[in-house]
Structures are given as structure tokens and as C-alpha cells.
Amino acid sequence: MDAPHGKPILPMADMTDTDQLRQKMLINVAWAQAVLAALIFIPAWSIAYWQGWLYWLCAGAGMLWLSLDVAKNDPALAKRRAHAGPTAEHRPRQKLIQSFTSVFGIAIFIVSPLDYRFGWSSVPALLTVTADAAIILGFVAIFLTFRENTFASSIIEITPEQRVVDTGPYARVRHPMYSGALLIFLGSPLALGSWWGLIPATVVCGALVWRLIDEESVLRAELPGYDAYTKTVRTRLVPGLW
């Protein structure tokens, strides 16, 4: 079968594993963007919501960039991150933590557009753009984490071949992926022009810290060398703070 311009379309059976993985991740990003658009623009009830459009574009670009890079350069990591959320976790405490994160994460994208719609608060345009820049920086932190650590699974698990990573961003903080997520979660309400959205965002960040502390107890107990690593790199999440 040929495409309209003569470029052959590979049947699924003839596609490489990398091609199939890339296609699957592109579909996932497309669905995520569709859901995100609904969460932003339905509560806002306006397509003139420029903060929503800018945020949607920045978030979409970040997700697309990460997905394509991981699919191309680390398919094993992409497969590790294919399952996420409360149902994917093995431990009851992490199921609870992820449930909190999911509920209040969605709340960010409902409260913030409602704030815009009803004019509950107002964020200066410069701060909105700065928050979008912080979100991009958060994606960069996650990108650097993925490049350095192929074991950065989306669930709390220790695999037999896993080792301690202490290079790249891990030489500065023990959980650089969470540092990036922190920037994204805290930046999202401000990027969407809302102060009220910081309330669910703060709850999400609290759940993130809870997850981190629980994860460290697992790493100390099950990952050889992790306890020694914590004595070398003392910063968990935010350099100079904690």
C-alpha cells in the first residue's frame, strides 16, 4: 500500500520494535493532549484563553520531545514507563499516594481554568510566561534523568540488574525526575493564570514528597549501594533546601 505521495506505508508486521514503540508513544501523547485540552478549555468555556493555549503547547512539546527521545534512544526505559498510575503500583501505600496525585493533579486543570472563567484571581502575564519557562525547565530535568538512568520506572520497583546511578543530575540531587515534576506541578497553575490552582498543586507536591520518602525506604532496603550514595549526595529534591 502506498501513501498519497508515493511513500510506502509499512504494515504493522514489517515495522521494527522501535517503529512500533514510537507509534504507540505518539498515540499516547495525542490522547494526553486531547484530554488536557478538554480539561483546560471546557471549564474555561473559552477558546480565547491564551494562557491555556500557551500551556497546552508547552506541555505538548515537552511530552512529545520526551516520548520520541526515549523511544529512539532507550526502548527499555519506554517499556518500563508504559504502565503508570495507582493500578500499576505493587505496594498499597504507593497505590494510595498515586491516587492522591492523580485526583489532585486533575484538579489543577479544573480549578485553574474555572479561576480564569469566573475571574477569581489574576496572574501577571510576565509571571505566566515565566511559569511556562519553568515547566519547560522541568521537562529538561526529566530528559536529563532519562538519559542518565534507564531504570527510571514509573512505578516503585527494583529489578535484578538495577544499580545506583550517581552521575549527571544524580550527582546533585537524589531524585532529579521528581525535581522536574515539582517545577511542572507548581508552574502549571501560574502558567494557566491562576493563584487558586496552587492549592491542589501544593497537595500534589506533598504527595510527591510522600512518595519520595517511601521510595527511599525501599531503595535503602533493596538496592545495594544506595545507602552509601545517600551519604555522598545529601540533597533529595531541591538543592540547598532539602
Residues 155 and 93: their CA atoms lie apart, in Å, by 12
Q: Give the SS3 label for residue 56.
A: helix
- Regarding predicted confidence, which is higher, 177 or 153? 177
- Regarding predicted confidence, which is higher, 193 or 242? 193
Contact yes or no for 233/159 (Cβ under 8 A)? no
Per-residue pLDDT, 2: 45
Contact yes or no for 97/211 (Cβ under 8 A)? yes
Residues 67 and 42: their CA atoms lie apart, in Å, by 26
Residues forming beta bridges with residue 8, ordered by sequence position: 2
> What residue type is 125 in one-letter code?
A
Q: How confident is the model at residue 16 (pLDDT cuts 50, 70, 90)?
A: low
Per-residue pLDDT, 128: 98
Take residue 139 and report the three cell numbers written for it. Answer: 521537562
Residues 153 and 172: their CA atoms lie apart, in Å, by 20
Per-residue pLDDT, 15: 58
Q: What are the domain boundaries of the chain?
A: 15-232
- Regarding predicted confidence, which is higher, 11 or 156? 156
Q: Once rounded to an integer, what is the mean pLDDT over residues 199-216?
A: 93
Nearest to 216 by CA among 234, 241, 239, 201: 234
- Regarding predicted confidence, which is higher, 143 or 88? 143
Q: Once rounded to an integer, what is the mean pLDDT over residues 21-44?
A: 91
Q: Looking at the whole model, is its pTM more than 0.85?
A: yes
Q: Once rounded to an integer, what is the mean pLDDT over residues 20-32?
A: 86
Query: pLDDT at residue 49 above 70?
Result: yes
Q: Which of 105-114, 116-125, 131-140, 217-226 has the lowest mean pLDDT?
A: 217-226
Share of the chain above pLDDT 90, in %: 62
Question: Interior CA angle at 36 toward 127 and 38, to 5°?
Answer: 110
Contact yes or no for 198/120 (Cβ under 8 A)? no
Residues 230 and 235: their CA atoms lie apart, in Å, by 8
Nearest to 170 by CA among 198, 151, 192, 149: 149
Task: Give domain 15-232's CATH number out of 3.40.50.300, 3.30.70.20, 1.20.120.1630, 1.20.1600.10.
Answer: 1.20.120.1630
Query: pLDDT at residue 107 above 80?
Result: yes
